[in-house]
């Protein structure tokens, strides 16, 4: 007699399905309008693929809170429909940050994910304005399309998105990164690296998880857990990035490794070495998994957040 086993959670299929959901919705929000070149330029960068990790985190957080709510017998809400506009807004802000980062006055990159960067295709002026446009469009879409969310909660989410993206968040981190890039090894320590990345990549990743919960009306304890998980994930994501720049191979990465070292970026590897970075990463993974289990943040039968954490750490690109 064969025992009936619980079906395995197929993370690959999950990722594919979720990504398609996000891509389709983004394409809908970015239907070409006048002026055509501006919308084409925005579409070019937003719809150019990518891991969509941030969107995945928002949807997973919303689902985790929904699963808990439904267990509690509260009103059944569709977490995906509620969180999808926010997930898309986050991807638009992320895409925008890459467009401006790639500009000649910042990183001066010609290629992004194996394709010419936005300004290489549309020119610098349009790339600049497409970035500006995406920043405001992201907020507009978040407000316009978030249904079944209390107005005060939605206001809090918009405010946090602006905070995560603005001078105290992503933009502030980019400036710090710029200031430290090119400096000698001795001029920065762990606190500096942590402060740069807490803004540059961390703020939006923290917001991704927190917002998924907030939109679903998560309680303060749940929000605090999501926020801490966001910190862990943001750190883990960045340390992995820094490690891949040293240990990854060009073919898998889709870009040339070694750029951090060449431009003297303030990275985790330069601050604490390869072994130190791997050690830190392993600690983050353990803490994250414990937190997810303790906070009942996994959707029953589908360890999505755990899988996303492992994915952020063990990816090869």
Interface with a second copy (CB under 8 A) = 33-35, 37-39, 42, 100, 103, 105-106, 123-126, 128-129, 131-133, 135-137, 139-140, 143-144, 150-152, 154-155, 158-159, 162-163, 165-168, 171-172, 174-176, 178-179
Q: How far is the CB of 140 from a second copy (least distance, A)?
A: 4
Between 163 and 270, name the residue whose CB sits nearer to a second copy: 163
Between 58 and 195, name the residue whose CB sits nearer to a second copy: 195
Q: How far is the CB of 43 from a second copy (least distance, A)?
A: 11
Could you write out the DSSP letters of every residue in 242-290? HHHHHH--HHHHTS-TTHHHHTT---HHHHHHHHHHHHHHHHHHHHHHH
Between 16 and 136, name the residue whose CB sits nearer to a second copy: 136
Between 18 and 112, name the residue whose CB sits nearer to a second copy: 112
Q: For residues 283 and 313, give the distance between their C-alpha atoms in angstroms, rounded to a whole number.
A: 11
Q: How far is the CB of 164 from a second copy (least distance, A)?
A: 9
For 141, the enclosing helix (H) or strand (E) is: helix 124-145
Q: How far is the CB of 92 from a second copy (least distance, A)?
A: 11
Between 93 and 277, name the residue whose CB sits nearer to a second copy: 93
Contacts (Cβ under 8 Å, ≥6 apart) of 160: 207, 210, 211, 214
Q: For residues 48 and 275, give the distance between their C-alpha atoms in angstroms, rounded to a whole number.
A: 34
Kindly report the number of other CB atoms within 10 A of residue 247's CB atom: 13
Q: How far is the CB of 145 from a second copy (least distance, A)?
A: 11
Q: How far is the CB of 282 from a second copy (least distance, A)?
A: 31
Q: For residues 317 and 312, give the distance between their C-alpha atoms in angstroms, rounded to a whole number.
A: 10
Between 177 and 285, name the residue whose CB sits nearer to a second copy: 177
Closest of 30, 35, 41 to residue 122, by C-alpha: 41
Extract the tokens encoding 4: 């009936």
Kindly report the number of other CB atoms within 10 A of residue 159's CB atom: 10
Between 33 and 186, name the residue whose CB sits nearer to a second copy: 33
Between 27 and 150, name the residue whose CB sits nearer to a second copy: 150
Closest of 17, 9, 98, 82 to residue 56, by C-alpha: 17
Q: How far is the CB of 105 from a second copy (least distance, A)?
A: 4
Between 127 and 236, name the residue whose CB sits nearer to a second copy: 127
Q: How far is the CB of 100 from a second copy (least distance, A)?
A: 6
Contacts (Cβ under 8 Å, ≥6 apart) of 172: 166, 199
Largest CA distance in the chain: 69
Q: How far is the CB of 227 from a second copy (least distance, A)?
A: 18
Extract the tokens encoding 291: 């937190």
CA 241 to each of CA 43, 163, 224, 261: distance values in angstroms, whole numbers, following the listed order: 26, 24, 26, 13
Q: For residues 33 and 120, give the distance between their C-alpha atoms in angstroms, rounded to a whole number.
A: 22
């Amino acid at each position: 007699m064969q025992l009936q086993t619980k079906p395995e959670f197929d993370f690959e299929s999950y990722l594919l399905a979720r990504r398609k959901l996000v891509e389709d919705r983004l394409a809908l929000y970015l239907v070409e309008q006048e002026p055509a070149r501006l919308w084409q330029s925005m579409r070019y960068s937003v719809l150019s693929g990518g891991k969509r990790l941030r969107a995945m985190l928002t949807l997973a957080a919303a689902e985790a809170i929904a699963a808990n709510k439904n267990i509690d017998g509260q009103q059944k809400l569709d977490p995906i429909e509620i969180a999808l506009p926010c997930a898309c807004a986050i991807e638009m802000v992320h895409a925008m940050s890459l467009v401006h980062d790639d500009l000649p006055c910042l990183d001066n990159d010609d290629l992004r994910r194996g394709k010419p960067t936005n300004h290489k295709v549309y020119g610098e002026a349009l790339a600049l304005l497409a970035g500006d446009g995406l920043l405001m469009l992201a907020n507009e879409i978040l407000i316009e399309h978030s249904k079944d969310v209390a107005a005060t909660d939605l206001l809090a989410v918009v405010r946090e998105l602006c905070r995560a993206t603005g001078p105290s968040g992503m933009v502030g981190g980019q400036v710090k990164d710029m200031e430290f890039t090119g400096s000698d090894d001795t001029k920065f320590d762990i606190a500096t690296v942590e402060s740069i990345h807490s803004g540059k990549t961390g703020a939006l990743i923290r917001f991704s998880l927190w917002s998924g919960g907030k939109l679903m009306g998560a309680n303060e304890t749940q929000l605090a857990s999501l926020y801490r998980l966001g910190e862990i994930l943001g750190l883990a994501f960045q340390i992995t990035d820094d490690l891949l720049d040293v240990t990854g191979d060009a073919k898998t990465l889709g870009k040339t490794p070694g750029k951090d070292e060449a431009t003297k970026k303030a990275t985790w590897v330069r601050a604490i070495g390869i072994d130190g970075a791997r050690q830190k990463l392993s600690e983050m993974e353990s803490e994250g998994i414990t937190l997810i289990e303790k906070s009942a943040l996994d959707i029953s039968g589908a360890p999505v957040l755990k899988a996303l954490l492992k994915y952020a750490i063990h990816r090869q690109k």
